[in-house]
């Protein structure tokens, strides 16, 4: 809900009607009978939304909006205009109004729906701004992200592609930091002050994913009570990251191909083309070329996405990064949980170095987060809750050893969670789909 809404109208009946309806919805509401009084309130208060009549004695709604936006540039504006004066409303929206209402109102629901839609868009923008701030606060430094010889080439690729608008396809095992690399590309690009919007494609059904990506019009389907902007619109002028792109259906593949080619789309249930300027980055732990050969992924979409490929190494391939990353996560979670954990014991350091990290960086992050919660002054080996392979296992070939460790880790974690696959996937730092695939592969 908005913190506070200001209603401006010289008609006391209209003001009272709007105020009553919105207070019933839980909003905090102030009223002003003219533009001058409204400006006084705007200077002394904090409003997320101003609803103002267009024509008032003295200062008009347009003039009020022009002055008010200088004081509260982040606020949204809804213009109230007389029935039949649509041209005035359109002009107001060109000048910065978010929406308009025609009076007399057809019903209280009309007012509720328009206000709810504007507030929801405001909240979406606030989440985007918070994400941008969080990237600045919680983003590992470049030397941490690209630590190790294997990542030197990745750093060069990221540095080269970031300033461009090229579509990037990031591949690698689950937990290797694909989203982190996508965020790095965004942060190094001219779009870094614009939205970075991530969509985890495997987590949504086809219907939900379509609505999530492209938005929907009011009444497009059961439950669509109001217009909703999709992630493409929210990411306009910024970056859209589509994680686990290999999981999307053929239907969504067709729609996505069109957006990439034409940079336009329609909301679900809509017919008006919407144009966006979005930089697209995708990721997958699948072999998309193989998916194309098997007929599960469109070849034309694959080549559109694979303009600039970046393949990330597994954490086990860059052992020099394990301890620095562990120290980074230690510092981060110590601060987050308000604990003073000074570091790792020698036993803990040895265990971190000897473990094979089947869940990669995400598993390392989860392990350190849990260890910070369990530890006192220092993190010891038993706080890490990790099993190191025995000598017999080390005698296996590297590939077999890794698979054996991965299988045993899954079995042990499933046992600890009572067979709860969702919790098991979260602990291991892998997607539920990947866990289910491994369970089937190992015949568990």
Q: Is the pLDDT of residue 301 over 60?
A: yes
pTM of the full structure: 0.58
**Does residue 26 or residue 308 have the better pLDDT?**
308
Q: Give strand pairing partners of 30.
A: 6
pLDDT at position 394: 43
Structure confidence by residue, pLDDT tens digits, 61-114:
989 998 988 888 878 899 888 765 667 777 777 777 888 888 877 778 888 888
Percentage helix, strand, coil for the chain under 3-state DSSP, each rounded to 5? 55, 15, 35
d(CA 57, CA 263): 45
pLDDT at position 92: 78
Structure confidence by residue, pLDDT tens digits, 156-190:
999 999 999 999 999 999 889 899 899 989 988 99
Question: Domains plus CATH for the chain?
Answer: 5-128 (3.40.50.2300), 139-313 (3.40.50.300), 316-441 (1.10.8.60)
| Rg, Å, the chain Cα set | 27
**Does residue 143 or residue 10 have the better pLDDT?**
10
Q: Is the pLDDT of residue 2 over 70?
A: no
d(CA 357, CA 405): 9
Count CB neighbours of 227 within 10 A.
Answer: 20
Encode burial over 419-442: b for 16+ CB neighbours within 10 A, e otherwise: eeeeebbbbbbbbebbbeebbeee
pLDDT at position 144: 75
d(CA 151, CA 347): 27
**Does residue 286 or residue 434 have the better pLDDT?**
286
Query: Residue 127 — pLDDT band, cuts 50, 70, 90?
Result: low
């Amino acid at each position: 809900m908005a913190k506070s809404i200001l209603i401006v109208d010289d008609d006391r009946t209209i003001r009272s009607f709007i105020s009553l309806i919105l207070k019933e919805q839980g909003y905090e509401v102030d009223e002003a009978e003219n533009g001058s009084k409204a400006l006084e309130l705007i200077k002394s208060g904090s409003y997320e939304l101003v609803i103002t009549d267009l024509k008032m004695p003295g200062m008009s709604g347009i003039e009020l909006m022009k002055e008010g936006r200088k004081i509260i540039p982040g606020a949204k504006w809804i213009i109230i205009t007389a029935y039949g004066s649509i041209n005035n409303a359109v002009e107001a929206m060109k000048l910065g109004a978010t929406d308009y209402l025609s009076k007399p109102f057809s019903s209280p629901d009309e007012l509720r729906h328009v206000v709810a839609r504007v507030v929801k868009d405001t909240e979406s923008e606030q989440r985007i701004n918070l994400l941008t701030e969080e990237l600045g606060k919680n983003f590992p430094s470049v030397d941490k992200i690209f630590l190790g010889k294997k990542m030197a080439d990745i750093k060069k690729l990221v540095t080269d592609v970031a300033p461009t608008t090229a579509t990037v396809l990031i591949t690698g095992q689950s937990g290797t930091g694909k989203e982190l690399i996508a965020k790095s590309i965004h942060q190094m690009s001219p779009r870094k002050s614009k939205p970075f919007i991530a969509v985890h494609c495997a987590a949504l059904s086809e219907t939900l994913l379509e609505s999530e990506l492209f938005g929907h019009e009011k009444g497009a389907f059961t439950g669509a009570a109001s217009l909703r902007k999709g992630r493409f619109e929210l990411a306009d002028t910024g970056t859209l990251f589509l994680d686990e792109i290999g999981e999307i259906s053929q239907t969504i593949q067709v729609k996505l191909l069109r957006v990439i080619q034409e940079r336009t789309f329609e909301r679900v249930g809509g017919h008006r083309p919407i144009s966006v300027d979005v930089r697209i980055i995708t990721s997958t732990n699948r072999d998309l070329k193989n998916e194309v050969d098997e007929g599960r992924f469109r070849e034309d979409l694959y080549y559109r996405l694979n303009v600039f490929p970046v393949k990330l190494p597994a954490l086990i391939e860059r052992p020099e990064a394990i301890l620095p990353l562990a120290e980074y996560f230690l510092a981060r979670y110590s601060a987050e949980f308000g604990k003073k954990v000074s570091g790792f014991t020698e036993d803990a350091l040895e265990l971190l170095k000897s473990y094979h990290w089947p869940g990669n960086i995400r598993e390392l992050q989860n392990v350190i987060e849990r260890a910070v919660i369990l530890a006192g002054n220092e993190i010891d080996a038993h706080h890490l809750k990790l099993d190191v392979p025995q000598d017999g296992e080390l005698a296996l070939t590297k590939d077999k050893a890794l698979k054996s460790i991965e299988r045993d880790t899954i079995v042990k974690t499933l046992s600890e969670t009572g067979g709860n696959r969702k919790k098991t996937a979260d602990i291991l730092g892998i997607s539920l789909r990947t866990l289910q695939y491994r369970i089937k592969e190992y015949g568990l």
